[in-house]
Amino acid sequence: MTTIFSRRHFCKISAFGALALPMGCNSSALKFEGVDTMTTGSVSSAVRRPAISIDPNISGSAKMYRGMQDGEFFIPPVPYEKMDPKYRRQRVVNKTGLPVGSVLIDTRQHFAFLVVSPDEAVRYGVGIGKAGFAWSGSAVIGRKARWPTWTPPSEMIERKPKLAEFRTGMPGGVDNPLGARALYLYKDGVDTLYRLHGSPEWWSIGKSMSSGCIRFLNQDIIDLHSRISRGSTVVVA
């Protein structure tokens, strides 16, 4: 099996749409005592997939997803009323089985769970990689960045020569594909080249559109970035 942390696995995100990403990790779905779980080549034990539980009285969406000034950049408001309510940020019962401070990315349900206590988690809607291209495994957050620089891989520049101007990096900003924040996933001290990052494309949340990296609403990745520390575990299953 090809290692899921091969340096060939890039987070190939385009400011103009998703691009294909070759992935080399197979996973298998299992059943344990009625709990839907999945194991991967780098997850040593079964990780629980919390059942969908929607709070019918979601409050605070207007405040959470309002337009906001963040440093020198203005983040537009999210038309949250056009989104499926289950993908709005909300507190849920913690059924992940992970330690406090960990993050579980449930790729099938398009959720990210930040474990804030033994009983509670913050759930975010996310966009994930297309079927066959989604990354899975366990890593730690090795770096956190505000308005990160994005550097297109050389093969992307070959396909889109106009990106050559960003060969040394696109500065952070509202048009940057990594959005307002990025959390960089590391394995054994090595950058896996996968990110949890922001996006202004609210309509992509809950869908499989990106090329391997996990995208959040900009307002949500800012929230997660503020709550989590370097060294925290991230499990993608």
Q: What's 192-213 look like in SS3?
A: EEEEEEEECCHHHCCCEEECCC
Pair of tokens at residue 67: 């337009």
Model pLDDT, residue 159? 86
Cα–Cα distance, 236 to 231 (Å, whole number): 16
Residue 110 is part of a domain; what is its CATH number?
2.40.440.10
- Please give the Cα distance from 227 to 218 (Å, whole number): 14
Residue recorded with tokens 């990780």: 47
Residue 11, pLDDT score: 53
**pLDDT number for residue 190:** 93
In a domain, 2, yes or no: no
Give the number of domains in the chain. 1
Residue 4 belongs to some domain of the structure: no
* Alpha helices (H) along 79-143: none
Range of the domain at 228: 13-50+62-236
pTM: 0.77
For residue 3, being part of any structural domain is answered with: no
Residue 49's pLDDT is what? 63
Classify strands 181-187 and 128-129 as parallel, antiparallel or unpaired. Answer: unpaired
The answer to whether the beta carbons of residues 234 and 103 sit under 8 Å apart is yes
| Residues in the chain with pLDDT values less than 70 | 1-59, 131-135, 210-212
**In this structure, is residue 1 part of a structural domain?**
no
